Chains A and B, each alone.
Chain A
C-alpha cells in the first residue's frame, strides 16, 4: 500500500521551513533597525518565527528518517538509498547518502547553532540571526522541489518512486511498491561514514557563525568588536572541520581501495581549502586581539572561509567536476541554485566590506621583524598560499565550463598525477609552516630582540637536531627532501614542547592550545612523510608471466594472483589464500562460505554443517543462520614467516550489482606500522560456467586426475541415510568417497548414486574452492567400476595488493593532539566570553 502521508507531511514541513526562514529574516531585519521601544516586540516575533523554523527543520529530518526506517520503498529516497537488510546505524548513513539528506543535515546544524547563539549572546542576536535565516532560506530552497514551468527549484527527498521512475510497472499498477530498495552504497557501510558526514556538515555550518558576526559588525559599524564573539566560533569551526576531514581520511584509509588516506581528489581539496583559510583567520584574529593589527586581513579571511565552503558545495554537488573526481555527486540540476547561493553572499560580503573599508581602523605602524605580528602574518600568508595552490588547479573543470559557456573550446585537464603534483608544493609550504610555528611561538609569549631570539632558540635547535638525527638514523631516511621534513617536524615539536612545559610550570594549561596544536602539526608532518614516502608495496608480481612486451618490464605489477591453498612469497612473508568466509550473527569468528547455503530471506542462510569455533558449537547443521550483510565476502589470507603462521587477514569484497566489485582492506596493526591487504579481483563464484562433461572410469582404490589434482578413489559404501534423513525402504544408495590433496589441504568429495524403484538419482558434490563438480554417472558392477561425470571450473583465487605503511600511528596521534589543542583554545576563549558576559558586555 502506498503511503503518501509521510511524504506530504515532510513536503509541507519543507515549505513551512522555507517560509518561516524568510519571515524570520525580514523580522530580524526590522528588529535590527527598530527603536529601543519597539525592539522587544520585534524580538519576540523574530524568535517565534525562528522556533517555528527550527521545529519544521527537525520535522523534515524526522519524516525522512521515518520513511527510511520503516522501509517505505514507495518513496524514491528510501528505494534508492536503503534496503531491508541494513542495520539501523547504516540506515542513518542512508539518510545522508543522497544530496537532499545532506542538505537537511546542514539545515539541522544551522538551527542548532542558531539556538545556541540566541541563548548565549544578547547583543548580536539581530543582525547575526538575519544572516542565519537568509542562509537557511537558501538551504531549504535546495530541497523545495517546486517546478514552475521549466524552472525547477530544489530537489525534494519526498518524491514517490512512481513520479520519478519511468518503469512500465507503474502504468499497470500505480500502487506498486518494490519489495526491497537498491541499498546503500557499500563504501558507505562503515561506522566512520555514520559519523563523518554529520561532523563535516557541522564544520560547514559553523563557518557561518564568524561570517555572520563579521556582517553584523560591518552593519552596526562595530568594526572590531565582532572579533571577540566570533573567535571561539572560528576555532570551533576549524576544529570540527579538521575533525571531519580527518575522519574522512581515516575512512578512506580503512575502506577505500585507492589505498590511502589522502588522494588530492577534488572532493577532498574542496574541504581542505576552507579549513586552511579558517586556520589562517584564527591566527590573524588572535593577533588583532593582542595588538590591533591585521583587522582587514581577518575580515577577508573570514569571508574567504565561508565563501569557499559554498564554493566547495558548488564544486561537489553541481556535477561540474564530472569525470575529474572519483566521487563527486550526480547533478540534481541544482547548479544554478548553488551558484546563486554563493554569489549572493559573496556580493553582500564585498558590498558591505567595500562600503565600510575606509572606516575600518588600521594600524599604521610597520610591523618589526622581531614582532609576533610579523611572524603570524607570514604564517597566515603561507596558509593562504597553500589554499590558493590547491584551489587553482582543482578549479580547472570550472574554467572549462566557463570557456564553453562563451562558446570556446578548452582541452585543459587536471594534472595527470594529482598526488605528485600537489605534494610537490604542499610539502614545502608545510615545512615552512612548521618552522614558522616553532619560531612564532617564542615571539608569541615574549618581546624579543635579536639577541633574545638567538638565546631562546639555541636549546630547542640543538635538541631538535639530535631528535631529527635519531629519527633519520633509526628510520633510515636517506632522501634529502624527507630529511628536511624530519628536521622541520622535529623543530616544531621541540620548540612548541618547550613552550608547553613553560606554560605548564605556570599552571596555565588553558593557554596551551596553540603549542599543542603545533606539536600535532609536527607529528602529522613526520607521520605523512613516513607512511606515504616509505609506503612499501610488498605484493610485487614476480611471476613474469605476462612480460610479453618489452615495455612491460618498466611497469611495476603491484598485484599478485593467489590460487587457493598455494603459498606465494611476498617479500618477508609467505602468504596463502584459504577461501571465502562470511560473518554470521552470534558467531565470534568468520564462517566458511561453503558451510552454508543462501536462503530466500534477507541475510539468511542454511547451515550445511555444524558451525564451530574453538570446539564450541554455535549452530547445528540445518539451522537458519543470520548473516551480517550477505553480500560481503571475507577472503582469508594467512601470513607466514619461516613456516610460522604470524597472522590472518580477512579483506572484504562485495560484488555489487550497481557499482561492481567493492573492496575493503584489512590491516595487521603494529605500533610502528600497518600491513594493509586489499582485494583487487575475485573469481566468479555464484554461477560458474562449468566446462564440458568429462567421464572417468575408476575402481575403488585407484587414482586419477581431475583438473590436475591427484584424486584418490578411497571407497564406495552403501549408506542408510543422506543428509541426516533415513532412506526409504528398498532404496539403494552408494556413496563414493574421493580425496584430493591440494597442497596442505585434504578435501573429501562424496557424490551419491541412489536407486529408488526404477529410478536413478544422482547427488553431485561441488567443491567451489577447487572448482570441481563430481557426480556418479553409473556403476558397472561386472567390472567393479564407477563412471564419474566431472565438470571443472577455475580453482578459486584472489588477486590482491599488500603494502606496509610505516609510522601511520604517528600521523593519527598527531591529529588527535592537534584536535586537543583546538579544544583547549576553545575552552580558553569560552572562559573569556563568560567573563565578558558577567560584565554585561556581550
Chain B
C-alpha cells in the first residue's frame, strides 16, 4: 500500500469520527414529557424544549417569580404539546423576555418538578419587519 493510500484512509477515518461524534453530541428537541422521562432514566444531558410563556386570559404573562437578589428567576412555560412546566433560569430576566413569541430552553430536569435551563433562546416579534406604525402627530 502506498503512503498516499494510508493518508487517504486516515483522513476518511477522522472524517467518520467527526460525523459520529457530531451526531452523538448533538442535542435533541423534546417535549416536557419526554424530557422528564429521560431525566428519570438517568439521562441528564441538556436537551431543547420549544414552547411559549404561560399567558393569562388577557394575554399577560403569568408565573414569573424573580429571585430575591434578582440574579435568577422561575417562569412557567407551555410546550408545543400544551404541557405546563416550571423552569428555573440562573440569570436575571432578559429584558425582552415577556415579549417573546417563542422560547427555546436548553437544559434538563433537576427534580421532578423543576426544569433548569442552562440557556434560553428567544424569538421576539421581528425587529426588521415592524409593520406596526404608530400614528404620531405630524
Mark A residues whose CB is within 8 Å of B.
79-80, 98, 161, 164-167, 169-170, 176-180, 182, 185, 322-324, 326, 329-330, 366-367, 369, 378, 381, 385, 388-389, 392-393, 396, 411-417, 421, 425, 541, 543, 545-546, 549, 551, 555-561, 655, 658-661, 680-681, 797, 799
Bound together, the chains give a CA A627 to CA B63 distance in angstroms of 39
Told that A416-B106, A680-B92 touch, could you supply 15 new A-B pairs with CB distance under 8 A? A176-B135, A179-B138, A322-B123, A324-B121, A366-B4, A381-B11, A412-B29, A413-B27, A415-B27, A416-B27, A416-B48, A546-B67, A549-B114, A658-B125, A660-B99
Number of A-B contacts (CB under 8 A): 160
- Contact pattern, B 62-105, Cβ under 8 Å of A = 1, otherwise 0: 00000111111000000000000000001111111101001010
Bound together, the chains give a CA A414 to CA B22 distance in angstroms of 9
Bound together, the chains give a CA A162 to CA B60 distance in angstroms of 31
Contact residue among A98, A323, A392, A551 (Cβ-Cβ distance under 8 Å from B123): A323
A555 touches B90 (CB 8 A): yes
A658 touches B130 (CB 8 A): yes
- Considering the complex, give the chain B residue whose CB is closest to the CB of A544: B69
B18 touches A389 (CB 8 A): yes
B15 touches A385 (CB 8 A): yes
In the complex, 8 of the A-B residue pairs with CB atoms within 8 angstroms, ordered by the A residue number, are A178-B138, A322-B123, A330-B128, A551-B116, A557-B90, A559-B71, A559-B92, A561-B70
Bound together, the chains give a CA A799 to CA B92 distance in angstroms of 8
Give the top 5 A-B pairs by smallest Cβ distance, nearest first: A660-B96, A661-B95, A660-B95, A416-B46, A681-B92
B91 touches A546 (CB 8 A): no
A559 touches B91 (CB 8 A): yes
Chain A residue numbers with a CB within 8 Å of B7 are 378, 381
Chain A residue numbers with a CB within 8 Å of B46 are 416-417
Contact residue among A323, A366, A561 (Cβ-Cβ distance under 8 Å from B71): A561
- Considering the complex, give the chain A residue whose CB is closest to the CB of B126: A330
Given that A167-B135, A416-B106 are known contacts, is A421 also in contact with B25, CB under 8 Å in the complex? yes
Q: How many residues of B contact A (CB 8 A)?
A: 65
- Considering the complex, give the chain A residue whose CB is closest to the CB of B110: A551
Task: Give min CB distance, A410 to chain B, whole Å.
Answer: 9
Task: Give min CB distance, A357 to chain B, whole Å.
Answer: 17
B57 interfacial contact with A, CB 8 Å: no
Bound together, the chains give a CA A322 to CA B101 distance in angstroms of 13
- Considering the complex, give the chain A residue whose CB is closest to the CB of B111: A551
Bound together, the chains give a CA A297 to CA B46 distance in angstroms of 40
Chain A residue numbers with a CB within 8 Å of B128 are 80, 98, 329-330
Task: Give min CB distance, B40 to chain A, whole Å.
Answer: 15
B131 interfacial contact with A, CB 8 Å: yes
- Contact pattern, B 120-138, Cβ under 8 Å of A = 1, otherwise 0: 0101111111111111111
Chain B residue numbers with a CB within 8 Å of A412 are 23, 26, 28-29
Bound together, the chains give a CA A414 to CA B119 distance in angstroms of 13
Task: Give min CB distance, B109 to chain A, whole Å.
Answer: 10
Bound together, the chains give a CA A546 to CA B70 distance in angstroms of 9
B47 interfacial contact with A, CB 8 Å: yes
Contact residue among A80, A178, A330, A416 (Cβ-Cβ distance under 8 Å from B47): A416
Task: Give min CB distance, A531 to chain B, whole Å.
Answer: 21
Chain A residue numbers with a CB within 8 Å of B25 are 393, 415, 421
- Considering the complex, give the chain A residue whose CB is closest to the CB of B137: A179
B27 touches A545 (CB 8 A): no
Chain B residue numbers with a CB within 8 Å of A558 are 90-91
Bound together, the chains give a CA A660 to CA B100 distance in angstroms of 10
- Considering the complex, give the chain B residue whose CB is closest to the CB of A560: B71
Contact residue among A161, A546, A797 (Cβ-Cβ distance under 8 Å from B68): A546
- Considering the complex, give the chain A residue whose CB is closest to the CB of B104: A323
Chain B residue numbers with a CB within 8 Å of A185 are 127
B53 interfacial contact with A, CB 8 Å: no
Bound together, the chains give a CA A293 to CA B9 distance in angstroms of 20
Bound together, the chains give a CA A322 to CA B122 distance in angstroms of 10
Bound together, the chains give a CA A797 to CA B70 distance in angstroms of 10
Chain B residue numbers with a CB within 8 Å of A161 are 133
Task: Give min CB distance, A325 to chain B, whole Å.
Answer: 9
- Considering the complex, give the chain A residue whose CB is closest to the CB of B125: A658
B14 touches A660 (CB 8 A): no
Task: Give min CB distance, A567 to chain B, whole Å.
Answer: 16
- Considering the complex, give the chain B residue whose CB is closest to the CB of A662: B95
B28 touches A681 (CB 8 A): no
A167 touches B133 (CB 8 A): yes
- Considering the complex, give the chain A residue whose CB is closest to the CB of B10: A381
Chain A residue numbers with a CB within 8 Å of B92 are 559, 680-681, 799
Contact residue among A166, A322, A330, A416 (Cβ-Cβ distance under 8 Å from B45): A416
Bound together, the chains give a CA A425 to CA B14 distance in angstroms of 11
Counting chain B CB atoms within 10 Å of each CB, which of A416, A551, A557 scores highest? A416
B18 touches A659 (CB 8 A): no
Bound together, the chains give a CA A177 to CA B136 distance in angstroms of 9
Chain B residue numbers with a CB within 8 Å of A561 are 69-71
A167 touches B132 (CB 8 A): yes
Bound together, the chains give a CA A385 to CA B11 distance in angstroms of 8
Task: Give min CB distance, A662 to chain B, whole Å.
Answer: 8
Task: Give min CB distance, A408 to chain B, whole Å.
Answer: 14
Given that A416-B106, A551-B110 are known contacts, is A393 also in contact with B69, CB under 8 Å in the complex? no
Bound together, the chains give a CA A811 to CA B15 distance in angstroms of 29
Chain B residue numbers with a CB within 8 Å of A369 are 3
- Considering the complex, give the chain B residue whose CB is closest to the CB of A653: B95
